[in-house]
A = this chain, B = another copy of it.
Amino acid sequence: MPHSNTIHESLTAVFQVRRFLADVSAGRGSARHPELAVLLWQRALDPQKGTWSLPGGRLRDDEDLDTSARRQLAEKVDVRELDHLEQLSVFSAPDRVPAPRRIASAYLGLVPLTTEPALPSDTTWHPVAALPEMSFDHRTVVDHARTRLAAKLSYTNIAYALAPDTFTMSTLREIYCAALGYDVDTTNLQRVLSRRRVITPTGATAPSGRAGGRPAALYRFTDSGLRVTDEFAALRPPS
């Protein structure tokens, strides 16, 4: 049977905006700008021993792909800390890994800024802008996930899954800048997100930083599930 050896697997790019330390080796790093990071584990065995892989693995006979992706992730990071998980696309090039053929259903997962999941010893966060040597086509999967995230930041409220429960506009701007990879103006961001009712003021303020100054207003995301924030007014169903 020519088809009998094909394996189906899930592969998830789990993203978090994280504040990486400038100098970890000195034992006391200073906080840097937040960066978009992806969760990777290092292969202890061949093929491609030493390269870094996305979490994932083989689909079982008794589960569907979403269940399988969550099960595989549970081995690397507590899935209760995932605020968003969605299918990206299927990577099915016949030669994407050495035989036997593996067809990979890729997922995008998001973890909020303030969460610090416990990780196994072979697993760590890497800045997406400075990836280590990646296994097989996993770098392409990361690129694809990042493109999807950037697109959805522009027409949905998906940033809720990267933000803490409440946040200042300054923090939210850092999250958008890190996830998009370019600078965003705080005032403009606040105006657009408020007009579309993506974010809501909580009425509370954040404690002043060491520098003092006026306390900053705290916001939250209006909805906790994904929604398209800009349906054409012209296209809304009659209410």
Residue A64 at the chain B interface, CB threshold 8 Å: yes
Let me know if A5 and B8 touch, CB within 8 A.
no
Cross-chain contact B93 with A64 (CB below 8 angstroms): yes
User: Which residues A47-85 have CB closer than 8 A to chain B?
Assistant: 58-59, 61-65
Query: Cβ of A235: which chain B residues have Cβ within 8 Å of it?
Result: 153-154, 176, 180, 184, 189, 192
A64-B6 in contact (CB<8A) = no
* Residue count of chain A within 8 Å CB distance of chain B: 47
Q: Which residue of B lies closest to A58 (CB)?
A: B3
Question: Which of chain B's residues have a CB closer than 8 A to the CB of A103?
Answer: 8, 59, 65, 103
Q: Which residues from B are CB-within-8-Å of A4?
A: 1, 4-5
Chain A window 161-205, contacts with chain B (Cβ cutoff 8 Å), 1 for yes, 0 for no: 000000000000000100010111100110110000000000000
The 8 A CB mask of A98-141 against B (1 = contact, 0 = none) is 00010101000000000000000000000000000000000000
In the assembled complex, the Cα of A153 lies from the Cα of B234 at a distance in Å of 11
Residue A217 interfacial (CB < 8 Å): no
Q: Which residues of B contact A87 (CB under 8 A)?
A: 89-90
Copies of this protein in the assembly total 2
Residues of B within 8 A of A189 (CB): 232, 234-235
Q: How far is the CA of A211 from the CA of B21 in the complex (A)?
A: 73
B90, B101, B192, B233: the one contacting A234 at CB < 8 Å is: B192
Chain B residues with CB below 8 A from A5, complex form? 4
Q: How far is the CA of A173 from the CA of B3 in the complex (A)?
A: 47
Top-9 shortest CB links A-B:
A188-B234, A154-B231, A65-B92, A64-B92, A155-B155, A182-B237, A192-B234, A4-B4, A87-B89
A-B contacts, 10 of them at CB < 8 A, read: A2-B61, A3-B7, A3-B59, A8-B92, A65-B103, A103-B103, A153-B235, A154-B228, A182-B237, A189-B234
Contacts beyond the supplied A64-B94, A90-B105: 19 A-B pairs with Cβ under 8 Å: A1-B4, A3-B59, A4-B4, A6-B6, A6-B8, A8-B92, A63-B94, A65-B92, A65-B103, A87-B89, A90-B90, A103-B103, A154-B231, A155-B228, A155-B231, A182-B237, A183-B238, A189-B232, A189-B234
